[in-house]
Chains A and B, each alone.
Chain A
Amino acid sequence: MFDFDPVLLARIQFAANISFHILFPSTTIALAWVLFFFKRRFKATQNPIWMDAYFFWTKIFALCFALGVVSGITMSFQFGTNWPGFMNKFGNIAGPLLGYEVMTAFFLEATFLGIMLFGYKRVSPFVHDLSTFLVAAGTTVSSFWILALNSWMQTPAGFEMINGQAHATDWLAILFNPSMPYRLVHMLLASGLTAAFLVAGVSAYRFLRGDKGEAVMAALKTGVYLAALLIPIQIVAGDIHGLNTLAYQPQKVAAMEGLWQTQKGAPLVLFGWPDQETRSNLYAVEIPKLSSLILTHDLDGEVKGLNEFEGVHPPVAPVFFAFRAMVGLGGLMFLISWLSAFWLKRKGTLAPLLAKSLVFMTFSGWIATIIGWYVTEIGRQPWLVQNLLLTADAAADHPPAMIGLTLTLYLLLYAFLLTAFIGTLFHMARKAGKGKTI
């Protein structure tokens, strides 16, 4: 047998689950609002194309929602099975936040989802509008509680430690902890972009197959304009979030930037290979002073380097590369959404090459969201709760073989479901072009 580290296996298992999970809420949070928008447009214009778009996307929403629910339940169990040390020490803080999520969001969205999906003919238009609204509100409220908890783990506030256990002293400070507003905005915008590119991509796919009905074009425009609107806001919000991280988790920013030495007038490392052995970047391409300018808004500002945090900073290479991939993908999203928006505005249609690139970008929101999370989650290692609990100390003591077995099962399951989802998504897009019903 291989001699695997149980902590590493538990982390891979949790990371695999959370990576699979995040795809679906990040789609549904914003897609629910897009659906609500379709309904409002129908109400305002009485044009049936908006209901066509609504019904097509409702089915995809239902699929995403189901995938999000089942993987989310898995996650709530893994808190207990994989990280008992976390609930033992911080249960008094995490408990109420998770509890309120279930009570104020889960039941609301799950119950009204049934009415939203299958109640169109059974309830009044007002009740159906209201159900759609409540599902959207539920998903957003849910993200509020989860991001409050995640942010608290990165920038803890409003508590005291008594006999090794955290006790709440100020719930407002816990909820609105220093990084929470930034992370929430960044995540909600990420969700908006995920849904926008999904809608734009699938609509462009239908467009390319000659399915150019008004409903398809309306959805295409909604997706493209939404993406073009959100991407500049996201770039600014991401930058501000980075400054907040610099203030509270400087070691994470140092890893993102690949800065080893604390220095004034720090360069921006464009590319390179961060080498943890020699504690330097190999083959680095740098722009002098730019990092100081971006982070401190001063050419000679001081930026803390990783060497200040030796032993308690994250593994540098994954954070460094994930950050670059996220920023690069953001740039690509900007380019393609603006070109497409411009084209649609000017000509009312799309050049085939642009439509193809939108199809290519269908899941770009997923990828950007996942690598963005890798930046922030790997970036806080080795801590599970910043400066208070090491990830290794929270892990359960299960035999590696058992974790390995379940990990294999989960990975196979997720690979199967992801394939099935993507296959079904495009199958539905093709089928919708041929007839009305699904």
Chain B
Amino acid sequence: MMDIIADGSWLPLSFAALMALAVLVYAVLDGYDIGVGLLSKAAKPEERDVMISSIGPFWDANETWLVLAVGLLLIAFPQASGVVLGELYLPVAVMLLGLTLRGVSFDFRVKAKADQKARWDTLFFAGSLLMAVSQGYMIAAYALGFEKGLAPLLFCLLAAVGAASAYGLIGASWLIMKTEGALQKKAVLWARRCLYAVAAALFLVALARGRLFSDGVSFVLPLLVLIAACMVFLGVVLRSLPAPQDKGCWKPFVLTVCLYLLSLIGLAYSFYPYIVPGRLTIVEAAAAPESLMVILIGALVVLPFLIGYTFFAYKIFHGKTRELTYE
């Protein structure tokens, strides 16, 4: 610990931690937006309006965490950003295509001509799906150090399916919290199905990672046990929902966030100390300390405000979703 402070590597390491935090917050917050987008396909048109209203006031700020995450990569680790974004050129383009379609169709669907609404809804779903699968694909490709070949490709595709289920899970958990009645019942059902899919995908990912890629990454048993326990608990909670007086409607969301957190810790653990697996370490890839200092000071000043007004916005739109109106 003293070494880290003495040789100045605490600065790049804190930026890596900050980036991991931004990724986690992004995955949770925009994750539920994407999840709602995925599930919107399975809903009736009038349910879809409620679902989309539940994310309306938030999605824009949620998406900003992605800008922060990629921004931190660009500014704190410029060397790594060239390698990572270069290797991921195509999936990044697919994600951006999805992100654009998702973000605008959300707005267009209520403003364009009425007979075009269904088309924008389809684009909203398609955009969300493209984002989910491309992000899953990218995380897996990144974890494998951009290895090429059939086995890595299959692994990445598996992760893409896993990511879509994980986003579906958090989207459904969000809806359990924000909706009531028939839609809430449906959301519980969706959450259960997504949970099974996530469990299967995680199991296969762990198996594949252990069997196919014996690159010395050892899994931390306690972490796996915690993840399994979290999923079992979530499964039990989902069986009891919706409960009378809507008790515990927030529990699935919190448990899903725990699941995300544990998975991210596992991922980060398997990377450390690399920022590009096998190629560049966090300390090697970092920008000049004086520039990092300038950003860190700004972040420390701004972050409390940011967290403060984010809570404020969530408080204003707290509770079950009502119809969204401008006027």
Binding site for B on A (CB under 8 A): 51, 55, 58-59, 62-63, 65-67, 69-74, 76-77, 79-81, 84-85, 87-88, 91-96, 98-100, 102-104, 106-108, 110-115, 117-123, 165, 167-168, 171, 396, 398, 402, 406, 409-410, 413, 417, 420, 423-424, 427-428, 437-438
Q: Of the candidates B58, B74, B86, which one forms a contact with A76 in the assembled complex, judged by CB atoms under 8 Å apart?
A: B74
Q: Which residues of A contact B78 (CB under 8 A)?
A: 87-88, 91-92, 95
Binary contact readout B42-72 vs A (1 if CB under 8 angstroms, 0 otherwise): 0000000000000011101101101110111
Query: Shortest CB–CB separation between residue B122 and chain A, in angstroms?
Result: 14
Q: Of the candidates B85, B110, B316, which one forms a contact with A81 in the assembled complex, judged by CB atoms under 8 Å apart?
A: B85
User: Is B63 within 8 A of A396, CB to CB?
Assistant: no
Given A63-B107, A103-B302, A117-B57, check contact A92 B70 (CB 8 Å): no
Among B166-174, B179-187, B283-291, the stretch in contact with A: B283-291
User: Is B96 within 8 A of A84, CB to CB?
Assistant: no
User: Is B325 within 8 A of A79, CB to CB?
Assistant: no
Q: Of the candidates B79, B100, B326, which one forms a contact with A70 in the assembled complex, judged by CB atoms under 8 Å apart?
A: B100
Interface centre among B72, B101, B326 (most CB of A within 10 A): B326
A/B pair count, beta carbons within 8 Å: 214
User: Is A398 within 8 A of B291, CB to CB?
Assistant: no
Q: Which residues of B contact A72 (CB under 8 A)?
A: 67
User: Is B76 within 8 A of A67, CB to CB?
Assistant: no
Query: Shortest CB–CB separation between residue A167 and chain B, in angstroms?
Result: 5
Q: Which residues of A contact B63 (CB under 8 A)?
A: 69, 73, 110
| B200 close to A (CB within 8 Å) | no
Q: Of the candidates A66, A102, A123, which one forms a contact with B71 in the assembled complex, judged by CB atoms under 8 Å apart?
A: A102
User: Is A398 within 8 A of B86, CB to CB?
Assistant: yes
Given A99-B295, A114-B60, A118-B56, check contact A167 B290 (CB 8 Å): yes
Given A168-B290, A398-B86, check contact A114 B113 (CB 8 Å): no
User: Is B302 within 8 A of A104, CB to CB?
Assistant: yes
Please report the C-alpha to C-alpha distance between residue A171 and residue B297 in the assembled complex, in whole angstroms: 14
A-B contact pairs, 12 of them (CB 8 A): A66-B107, A79-B74, A96-B298, A100-B295, A102-B64, A107-B302, A112-B309, A114-B317, A117-B326, A119-B57, A402-B89, A410-B97
Query: Shortest CB–CB separation between residue A54 and chain B, in angstroms?
Result: 9
Given A73-B67, A74-B100, check contact A111 B313 (CB 8 Å): yes
User: Is B294 within 8 A of A107, CB to CB?
Assistant: no
User: Is A92 within 8 A of B61, CB to CB?
Assistant: no
| B226 close to A (CB within 8 Å) | no
Please report the C-alpha to C-alpha distance between residue A7 and residue B176 in the assembled complex, in whole angstroms: 50
Query: Shortest CB–CB separation between residue B149 and chain A, in angstroms?
Result: 19
User: Is B287 within 8 A of A420, CB to CB?
Assistant: no
Range, interface on chain B:
35 or more
- In the complex formed, the residue of B with least CB distance to A121 is B325
Given A63-B108, A96-B291, A115-B316, check contact A107 B57 (CB 8 Å): no
Q: Which residues of A contact B70 (CB under 8 A)?
A: 76-77, 80
Please report the C-alpha to C-alpha distance between residue A85 and residue B83 in the assembled complex, in whole angstroms: 11
Please report the C-alpha to C-alpha distance between residue A67 and residue B107 in the assembled complex, in whole angstroms: 9
Please report the C-alpha to C-alpha distance between residue A415 and residue B22 in the assembled complex, in whole angstroms: 33
Q: Which residues of B contact A428 (CB under 8 A)?
A: 111
Please report the C-alpha to C-alpha distance between residue A212 and residue B64 in the assembled complex, in whole angstroms: 40
Given A120-B326, A120-B327, check contact A111 B310 (CB 8 Å): yes
Q: Which residues of B contact A106 (CB under 8 A)?
A: 64, 67-68
Q: Of the candidates B57, B67, B96, which one forms a contact with A118 in the assembled complex, judged by CB atoms under 8 Å apart?
A: B57
| B75 close to A (CB within 8 Å) | yes
Q: Which residues of A contact B325 (CB under 8 A)?
A: 118, 120-121
Known pairs A71-B100, A87-B78, A88-B82 / 19 extra A-B pairs, C-beta < 8 Å: A69-B63, A70-B103, A76-B70, A76-B74, A81-B92, A84-B86, A92-B291, A96-B291, A98-B75, A107-B310, A113-B60, A113-B61, A168-B290, A168-B294, A413-B101, A420-B112, A424-B112, A427-B112, A428-B111
